[in-house]
Structure 1
Amino acid sequence: MSATAPTPWWETLRLREEITDASGVASDIQVSLYRVAYGQGTSRPHYASASAYGQVTHPTSQLVELLTQIAIRLAGATKYESAPALTRLDQGMGGGKSHACIGAWHLAKDPEALAQEDVGREVFEQARAALGQELPRDLNKPHVVVLSCDNMVPGATDAEQDGPWAHNLYERFLWRLFDGLDDQEPRYDSFRSHFSSKAKIGEAIASLDRPVLIVIDEVLNYVGDGLEGCGDKQLLAQDMAFLRALTETVSTVPHVSMLVVMINSEKDPTTLQGDGEARRQDLQAYLQRNGQTKPVNENADFTAILRRRLFANSADMAVGRAAQQAAEAFRPVMEQGNWKTRVFGSLSGPWTSRFPDAVVRSYPFHPQLMDLAEREWANLAGFQQVRSTITIFAATVYAQTERAKRGEWVPSLIGPGDLPLSDGTVRDAVIGSGLISDTKTQGNYRSIAQSDIVDLEDNGGAARRLDVSRDGAPWAHSNPRAAERAATFIYLASIVGTRGGSRRGASDPEAKAATVVPDPSYDYAEADAVVRALTNVDDAGLATVEIFEGRGGQPRRYYLSTRQRLPMLLRAMRNSVTDEDRDEAVAQYAREMLTTGPFAKTRFIHADTSHSHRALLVEAEIDEARTTRLIALDPAMYTVGNGTQKATLEAVQAVLGLGPDRIPVAWASSAVFTVASARGRTQARRAAVEYLAIERVLDGPEAEADEDIALEATARRDDELRRLKDSVRRAFQHVLYLAQPDPTVEREVVQRNLEQGTLDGGAVWEALAVAQKAFRPGEFTGTALLHNLRDSDYDRRPLAEIRDSFWDTPRLGLLPGDGTEALRQAIYQAVREGELRIVRQGGEPVVVDALTGINFNAPTYRLAKPEPAPTKAQESEDKGEQGATGASGRAAGSRSSGNSGSASATGSVGGVRARPGTSTDGPTAVEQQVAFTVMKNLISEPDSADKLAQLFRKLFDLLDRGAISYLSSTLQVTMPSEQASEIKELAQSLGIAVSIRDR
């Protein structure tokens, strides 16, 4: 450090109030002549005052020359002709045209006030030097006519500004020309028909007998698309005739000056419609023939303009001393070994050889930044020169001043690495300045700034993280943003595309120079380490940097590319995915993948954190008559495992009619819930973030502008979608349902875990079938029905009640699909086989010879057991009665046989057939259900193999003799693969599903 530390610039310079009041937004950069001429009250800007305008206006040589010519033309006595009457300003957007027009307005409207400011003093001094005499201080009281064409619509006049009768541009001009005169209307009427007469137009102007300044601003807006859109050919012809005549007239009338703003076609990207381009060329020819074309600013004026526009005391002597101190503080570093030879000595900017003078000129900005703005930015077609420069620099100075107020580090000179991209105003000013050619690229570089440089919270971004994580560097206090500063300069050098001479990005010396501070402990080696870490794409460096090795002794270059940077885009997009976005994606794909299988219906209960777990399920009204429902619960709220299940289980219990907070339900048994595990939810959420990030990359401007990114992202998106779906499916590992295997115990909610997880209704149904909670498709036969009926189900309960019990009774297995049809088929089978009867409430049998005979809606229908087989005495008695009936063959009391053809060799009982092999002699044997579980390691317990063989041989014998009427079993055995294949083939021949997996 130098012996005497320089006075900080933020303590020396004073920002103008209009900038501090607007938090760094230079709101009056895009000045308006219309608001100055016609604004009232709050719409009238502060620069509508000649004094205020003069205070913020640097007297650039070209602006002073323009205003001097106007002053001479208006009040130069007999020498007025030494100045041109007509001047055209044709600079591009942001080149200072409107500012010059406002200066001309103030010169004519209030010349004495303007003469008190620097720009006015120089105008009057230059005019005196040119004329050899003083101009009158009031310039002989000129009259000003302003046609602000970007605020005028052809044919649509404003009575206050244009008069009550004006229609064409000439009539609008006349009303303004005679404004303030007592005889305004008579004069107007006498000239209004002469729109194309040069003589009459000249006579009208001369009739004022005073100097006249005519300012026509943005005339192309009017004659271009304005006239094209009005559709009035007569008006079009009159307006163009007037403009031609006016351009040829002003030079013939003494003390008249005319200023016209019309951007040259080479500098204006606007495409005119219809014949607009022809009108532009026509008017341009008249302007060139009758006047001069003049710029009002040069690139060299940027620094002076900036200082005056930003700071109220930029010309103070104290500011000059502070600038000299700052330059002196940097001198030892710039003259130090490698800094001198490998950095500043290799830079081409002229500021390096005359650094002290350059600092005094640009203070508080570093000459390296000012050189970049003046020599490179100002030459870009889209960069709006003065306007864009002021916007960027005003936001930067304000942001750095605010840091100083907070006691944070601020650079001694604001260099090209010190534009704080963490400040939204600065970032928007840079991106919207015209340095970036198109909106797609703007979007790309906005993402790069956020991810690679520094985020808007000032704690993220690759470069910023390198600085934050730096520990123990002796220079950390004097240069805590070294990596961010180098990255910011690389960013600024990259966004412009090519910097001339096919150069792209920043050179290695330029990047290191952007990090320099007046502290000897931050030497060249430290800067080299910072830049190397920053450009290490394999570590924590810039994800988008492309490195070009120098050729022919040239240094390497660093360029932040918008191409082939999918990892960086993904990083940015991951940060943009909210928890709500992530959980919605998980819910969406869970809902889409949920299938019914044998269930009659599926439902997905979407999370709503404004409700409790219980309230949300209650509001969902999941109770539904005679419908098997598979209900998937949104993992965003409902999970099982890792201590998360309490609220979920209590909510499920409540809507299944259990627990202290239960609600009344009728069909709880047929509701099955599938719930995600806590671990599975975590994995699904992680996959959702990745998928949403790649989706947003594809939706962004980067993928649209870069085919390589789009192709790579599309392939990645497909992979991430598969991962997301798989993780969502696997997450649902728990099935909850109501069970009551024994009527002597209370109902309970059973949790069955599925190792693989699934949203397939078929797989869930199979798990229920294994647990004997459901019947597989085709499994519910007449025999199965009989095994599920109890004595209380016969004779007393209506058929509809029997049907409903398969949906509302937990001890009964669920029926697949519609269920009612499967039940009807089972009843019909049992009736046909003589195992069941359908009777009416009084016991009267119902003849059932078709499925339609089983009517669940008949309130008197009941199920009844088969009638007992008749004894021999009863058979003899029946034969006697049959003999007495004669030819009819039927007794009057034989109604139980409802069909004469129903008897067969198998025997006829109660109008239906008895089961084959069933004896009608003696009492019917009572069947018992046998259930057992086997789990044996037959390698460690070889003796058990023989006993199990005996057990299975006995079962085989019973099967072979037909003694087993119903079988429901799940068997898991481990055996060699060859034998496993044989078992699988045999099982499949019986229609039994078999799964085989390696141990």
Structure 2
Amino acid sequence: MAKSVTPWWKALQIRKEIINASGQIDDVQMSLFQAVHGVAATRPPYADAAYYGSITHPTERLVDLLTEIAIRLGGESDYLKARAVTRLDQGMGGGKSHACIGAFHLAAHPEALLQTELGRQVAAHAASRLGRPIASDLSKPHVVVLPCDNMTPGAPVKELDGPAETLYERFLWRLFGKDYSLFERYQPFWNDKSKIAEAIRAVNRPVLILVDEILDYIGNGLDGADKPDLAAQDVAFLRALLDVVNDVPHVAMLVVMIASDKDSIALSPAAQQRRDDLNALLDRNGFPATVTEVGDFADILRRRLFEAEPPVEVLRATAEMYRGALEDKAWSKNVWDAISADWRRNWADEVAACYPFHPMLIGIAKNEWSKVTGFQRVRSTIRIFAATVYAHQQRGHAGEWVPALIGPGDLPLSDNAVREALLGSGLVEDERTISNYRSLAENEVVNAKRDGGIARMQDLERGPIMWAEANPFAAERAATFVFLASIIGTLRPGRGRGASAPEVKAATSVADSLYTVTDADSVVEELINTDRGMSAVEIIPGRGNNQPARYFLSTRLTHRMLVNNIKRTITDTERDEVIAQFAARLSSSGPFRELKFVTADPSRTAKEVLSTAGIDNAHVNRLIVLDPAQFSLRNGMEQATMEALTTAMGLGRGVDQLPVQWASSAVYAVVNTQRRGNVRGIAVEYLARQKALAAPEVQGDDELKATGTKELSAAKEQLEKALKRAYQHVVFLAQPDPDGERVVQDYTFDSDNLTALDGTMVWKALAERDKVFDAAQFTAKALVHNLRDQDYGRSLSEIRSAFYNAPRLPLLYGGDSDLQHAIYDAVVNDQIRIVDGSGNDVAVTAPAQVNLTSAGLRLARPIPPCPTCGIAEEDHLCSEPAEVDTTGNDSTTASESSTESTTGTAGKGRTVAPATAATQASSSSDVAETAPEKQVAFSFTSNVLNQDSAADDFAAIFRQLYLTLDERQVSYLQGTLSLVMDADAAQTLAEKVSEAGLNVTTRDM
């Protein structure tokens, strides 16, 4: 591009709302309802009359429509010079809602709108027809807006409809500005034309009635209400209103209802009858109108996309740049003449009208795209071109190549917004084909990263060449045009299927003379080469100069196409069922004795499902896997699941309080909400491949069958892996403080290699949280440590139950067997006793003899030994009986420290030989070596702020605790510590706690 010519992306300022939306313009589909009723965040920019006027190109038909309304409302005695009822019947995306909003602003904010270019033209046209200027306030009209696409028959919105229910009552409520007395006066007369006319006159102001998308209301809307009386009244009211509007002065009515031949909506017989009736009424009373035509495309685009018109000198300079290429004999003979480029004749004018778009691209949009039935003309074109100019502007700012005029090969398919705007525009209606073209765009043309795609790779790998800088995207531009021509299929008027060779070459052209027709030939030939070019391109051979070769991207059946088509038929129920099947199959119990999968039931709440799942089983550790279809945690979606779990663990309140006894031994595996979404997507892929493989067309094709088998296996593996990762959470009942409240706690696996579906992994994780004992961890010492004072004297069956229903007690790896061994070892080591109902010791000779179901056998504390002779109190031989401290601590007398030989009688009548000093010393040594452990427990609450002595005391305590731990003199720790401290110190301490594998919480004070 010549340096003297300002590029379009500098000469034109893209509208801020487009830049803010990164090219994905979001208010193309305007809403009359939002313009009238939108507030705060829901109030769109076009709700402002001045902004609306600034973005609206004053097309001849729109100006004519608004002029009619202006004269009807504000023309005083000349109101009959304008029509009363107008019907907008264009198809989707034709500008109907845009026109309704313009009419609303004209009547509701006449002074503001008439100051815009659009308003000035309306005022000028009105003055021309009236022979005098029209009043700037249009006699202050009142506007009645019935946005039927936002109104549900029989279900009024109180804020908007007040006491009204029928369409007539909603009309009255808006007509009278919520005046209840007038509303009641005319409410009964829904079919009375004279009363309706009287009601309109009662306003004593001109009235504009806007009825948007009336078919949404009288069609399937009234069917859904299932109220025959309401339907009859609403239709009768519309019939009467359409007759009345013509008879009441200074009343105008604008009705939006797409013509039947342009609207393929399916209607019931009753709804179709109502549609036909209304069509007849509108034909009789109204005047059909459109507000845009094909010739308005370029003007509408530029007004909608850019803040101001381009400078004239830029338009002239840009047009002049292309003179050389357009007048080149080789280009003319082989390209321009072959494609009938009529825009060459008035080139400067065409550039001025289409800038910054190439006339060839605007011609395709006007003459080809607009002919496609599903294409939403103005709306779709604005979306496509807005995304395009934004993407190119970004490239220009980044110093990349940008075309001087955006041509048919310059729609950047690497940009997601551009590609999806094209595919979603209506040019392609079939979902399967859309999906296939999306894949073709990425694989054949250019991918999102702009480092792949066959055409893009040809540009990147092209060697040094003279025109490289002038046209660095030649192959991509050619392929892009082939793509555009292909998505229209056989609908290109007079051109046949796909793109002709001259058209493809034209799409690659630039203003630089270094790029010749010969270069264009080479680019196209390389692109369609069967070995190195686009793999999906099909070629229709040419027949001489009059019938050149044509190219199009094929959408013949592939396995991917079949899978994508089937994916659209898979229901959420099918998807969730296969996920549940996989989750149940992948689950393993590990150390848990029982594994249960709780299946979802959409007809009931999560709480009801879990409460009736039969999971409260006695004396068994259970891993309960919850169906992802109904249960999940995190991402703001966990309330129902947490309420269900809380109830199932017996922590509910009021009506949710259930008599749950064995909640402590139930552990729940729950899926992560966000990862569940990923699993659902993969499950759909799996099901689609499963169904595709079973399809007759695949079974009858060996190649497709081999592909399908391979892809199904990969999809299955991917689903299993994703599902395991998704089961990230473990939920259980805990009691951090043995004397405190029971709470629901959860553990989250951070590693993708761990899953809550694996009972062994779950058990290991819970062992870190002291919820369970791992294998071989539950010893006699651990048993004694976990016993509380009140546990002594309880029966063995109660002790056994406690390890399944008391959350203060960890679950046992081997269940009953672990408990039997621990009790047996403790008895053998004189750490506890088993006694009968009379308090007599009961001997056990093996772990299996510990009868955990017995209600008569109890646990008892061991009898303390005599400090003198080292024999249990009931057997000791000292002359003086040992004193037993009722607190459980041993006490001694002076005689117990004597080293003299003594003789005594055992409690059971045994005779024991006198002990010598030597044997006593030996006994003392043995006692020292096997000194029993002691439990140390203390609690504190203290303010150490500015209390130096208190701080020193606690420092000494924790220093001693550190030394004790460092010397490995502590065998068990349990407790909760809460501190208020300096923020930096708190962060450091929290990190240390986390490094130790402990849970820590911090909060601001």
Q: Same fold (TM over 0.5)?
A: yes
In structure 1, the partner of 2:518 is 525
The answer on whether the counterparts of 2:692 and 2:698 sit within 8 Å (CA) in structure 1 is no
In structure 2, the partner of 1:482 is 474
Distance, in Å, in 2 between the alignment partners of 1:700 and 1:529 is 44
Where 2:168 maps in the other structure, the secondary structure is helix
In structure 2, the partner of 1:74 is 73
Deviations 1:523-547 (A, max 9, x none): 01111000000011222x1111111
Give 2:20's aligned amino acid: D
The answer on whether the counterparts of 1:174 and 1:188 sit within 8 Å (CA) in structure 2 is yes
Shift of residue 696, structure 1, vs aligned partner:
8.6
In structure 2, the partner of 1:637 is none
Distance, in Å, in 1 between the alignment partners of 2:523 and 2:352 is 29
Where 1:526 maps in the other structure, the secondary structure is helix
The answer on whether the counterparts of 2:73 and 2:79 sit within 8 Å (CA) in structure 1 is yes
- Cα distance 1:712–1:219, how it changes in 2: closer, same or farther (>3 A)? farther
Deviations 1:573-624 (A, max 9, x none): xxxxxxxxxxxxxxx9xx99xxxxxxxxxxxxxxxxxxxxxxxxxxxxxxxx
Shift of residue 716, structure 1, vs aligned partner:
3.5
Q: How does 1:895-914 map to 2 (within 5 A)?
A: none
In structure 1, the partner of 2:103 is 104
Give 1:15's aligned amino acid: I
TM-score between both structures, scaled by the size of structure 1: 0.57
Deviations 1:637-666 (A, max 9, x none): xxxxxxxxxxxxxxxxxxxxxxxxxxxxxx
In structure 1, runs of 5+ residues without a counterpart are 571-587, 593-691, 726-999
Distance, in Å, in 1 between the alignment partners of 2:260 and 2:379 is 20
In structure 2, the partner of 1:22 is 21
Where 2:260 maps in the other structure, the secondary structure is coil
Shift of residue 551, structure 1, vs aligned partner:
3.0
Of 540, 548, 552, the match for 1:559? 552
- Cα distance 1:81–1:698, how it changes in 2: closer, same or farther (>3 A)? same
Q: How does 1:422-433 map to 2 (within 5 A)?
A: 422-433=414-425
Distance, in Å, in 2 between the alignment partners of 1:457 and 1:709 is 37
Of 528, 536, 546, the match for 2:529? 536
Shift of residue 707, structure 1, vs aligned partner:
5.6
Shift of residue 521, structure 1, vs aligned partner:
1.2
Q: How does 1:45-56 map to 2 (within 5 A)?
A: 45-56=44-55
In structure 1, the partner of 2:449 is 457
Of 245, 250, 254, the match for 1:255? 250
Distance, in Å, in 2 between the alignment partners of 1:29 and 1:413 is 24
Where 1:436 maps in the other structure, the secondary structure is coil
Cα RMSD after superposing both structures: 3.0
Q: How many residues align?
A: 600
The answer on whether the counterparts of 1:5 and 1:329 sit within 8 Å (CA) in structure 2 is no
In structure 2, the partner of 1:215 is 210
- Cα distance 1:230–1:566, how it changes in 2: closer, same or farther (>3 A)? closer
Residue 185 (1) aligns with residue 176 (2): no
The answer on whether the counterparts of 2:166 and 2:230 sit within 8 Å (CA) in structure 1 is yes
Shift of residue 567, structure 1, vs aligned partner:
11
Shift of residue 353, structure 1, vs aligned partner:
2.5
Shift of residue 326, structure 1, vs aligned partner:
1.3
Shift of residue 355, structure 1, vs aligned partner:
2.1
The answer on whether the counterparts of 2:508 and 2:520 sit within 8 Å (CA) in structure 1 is yes
The answer on whether the counterparts of 2:474 and 2:523 sit within 8 Å (CA) in structure 1 is yes
Distance, in Å, in 1 between the alignment partners of 2:712 and 2:62 is 66
Distance, in Å, in 2 between the alignment partners of 1:449 and 1:266 is 33
Residue 714 (1) aligns with residue 704 (2): yes
Distance, in Å, in 2 between the alignment partners of 1:710 and 1:45 is 55
Q: How does 1:304-323 map to 2 (within 5 A)?
A: 304-314=299-309, 316=310, 318=311, 320-323=312-315
In structure 2, the partner of 1:495 is 487
Where 1:193 maps in the other structure, the secondary structure is coil
Distance, in Å, in 2 between the alignment partners of 1:413 and 1:706 is 50
% of aligned pairs identical?
51
Residue 374 (1) aligns with residue 334 (2): no
Of 187, 192, 205, the match for 1:197? 192
- Cα distance 1:217–1:460, how it changes in 2: closer, same or farther (>3 A)? same
Give 2:373's aligned amino acid: A
- Cα distance 1:707–1:399, how it changes in 2: closer, same or farther (>3 A)? farther
Shift of residue 190, structure 1, vs aligned partner:
0.9
Distance, in Å, in 1 between the alignment partners of 2:370 and 2:496 is 17
TM-score between both structures, scaled by the size of structure 2: 0.57
Shift of residue 322, structure 1, vs aligned partner:
1.3
In structure 1, the partner of 2:167 is 169
Shift of residue 232, structure 1, vs aligned partner:
0.9
Moved more, 52-61 or 201-210: 201-210
- Cα distance 1:551–1:22, how it changes in 2: closer, same or farther (>3 A)? same
- Cα distance 1:376–1:141, how it changes in 2: closer, same or farther (>3 A)? same
Structure showing greater Rg: 1
Distance, in Å, in 1 between the alignment partners of 2:694 and 2:100 is 42
- Cα distance 1:69–1:706, how it changes in 2: closer, same or farther (>3 A)? farther
Where 2:511 maps in the other structure, the secondary structure is coil
- Cα distance 1:430–1:187, how it changes in 2: closer, same or farther (>3 A)? same
Shift of residue 502, structure 1, vs aligned partner:
6.3
Give 2:13's aligned amino acid: R
Shift of residue 424, structure 1, vs aligned partner:
0.7
Of 428, 440, 456, the match for 2:432? 440
In structure 2, the partner of 1:348 is 340
The answer on whether the counterparts of 1:87 and 1:294 sit within 8 Å (CA) in structure 2 is yes
Distance, in Å, in 2 between the alignment partners of 1:705 and 1:66 is 55
The answer on whether the counterparts of 1:212 and 1:256 sit within 8 Å (CA) in structure 2 is yes
Moved more, 385-394 or 273-282: 273-282
The answer on whether the counterparts of 1:566 and 1:709 sit within 8 Å (CA) in structure 2 is no
The answer on whether the counterparts of 1:388 and 1:433 sit within 8 Å (CA) in structure 2 is yes
Distance, in Å, in 2 between the alignment partners of 1:382 and 1:280 is 21
Residue 271 (1) aligns with residue 266 (2): yes
In structure 2, the partner of 1:126 is 125
Distance, in Å, in 2 between the alignment partners of 1:721 and 1:491 is 28
In structure 2, runs of 5+ residues without a counterpart are 564-581, 587-681, 716-1005
Distance, in Å, in 1 between the alignment partners of 2:322 and 2:696 is 43
- Cα distance 1:107–1:404, how it changes in 2: closer, same or farther (>3 A)? same
Q: How does 1:286-301 map to 2 (within 5 A)?
A: 286-301=281-296
- Cα distance 1:456–1:322, how it changes in 2: closer, same or farther (>3 A)? same
Shift of residue 160, structure 1, vs aligned partner:
2.0
In structure 1, the partner of 2:499 is 506
In structure 1, the partner of 2:676 is none
The answer on whether the counterparts of 1:36 and 1:48 sit within 8 Å (CA) in structure 2 is yes
- Cα distance 1:297–1:718, how it changes in 2: closer, same or farther (>3 A)? closer
Where 2:261 maps in the other structure, the secondary structure is coil
Where 1:547 maps in the other structure, the secondary structure is strand
Q: How does 1:844-863 map to 2 (within 5 A)?
A: none
Distance, in Å, in 2 between the alignment partners of 1:6 and 1:697 is 57
Where 2:539 maps in the other structure, the secondary structure is strand
Of 385, 404, 407, the match for 1:412? 404
Q: How does 1:876-915 map to 2 (within 5 A)?
A: none
Where 2:337 maps in the other structure, the secondary structure is helix
Shift of residue 398, structure 1, vs aligned partner:
0.4
Q: How does 1:760-775 map to 2 (within 5 A)?
A: none
Distance, in Å, in 1 between the alignment partners of 2:123 and 2:425 is 35
The answer on whether the counterparts of 1:10 and 1:401 sit within 8 Å (CA) in structure 2 is yes
Deviations 1:40-85 (A, max 9, x none): 1221111111100000000000000000000011111222111110
Give 1:264's aligned amino acid: A
The answer on whether the counterparts of 1:467 and 1:481 sit within 8 Å (CA) in structure 2 is yes
The answer on whether the counterparts of 1:54 and 1:118 sit within 8 Å (CA) in structure 2 is yes
Q: How does 1:414-813 map to 2 (within 5 A)?
A: 414-498=406-490, 499-501=492-494, 503-539=496-532, 541-551=533-543, 553-563=546-556, 699=689, 711=701, 713-717=703-707
- Cα distance 1:145–1:525, how it changes in 2: closer, same or farther (>3 A)? same
Distance, in Å, in 1 between the alignment partners of 2:101 and 2:714 is 62
- Cα distance 1:719–1:151, how it changes in 2: closer, same or farther (>3 A)? closer
- Cα distance 1:233–1:429, how it changes in 2: closer, same or farther (>3 A)? same
Give 2:219's aligned amino acid: G
Distance, in Å, in 1 between the alignment partners of 2:469 and 2:561 is 30
Distance, in Å, in 2 between the alignment partners of 1:143 and 1:98 is 19
The answer on whether the counterparts of 2:686 and 2:712 sit within 8 Å (CA) in structure 1 is no
Give 1:277's aligned amino acid: Q
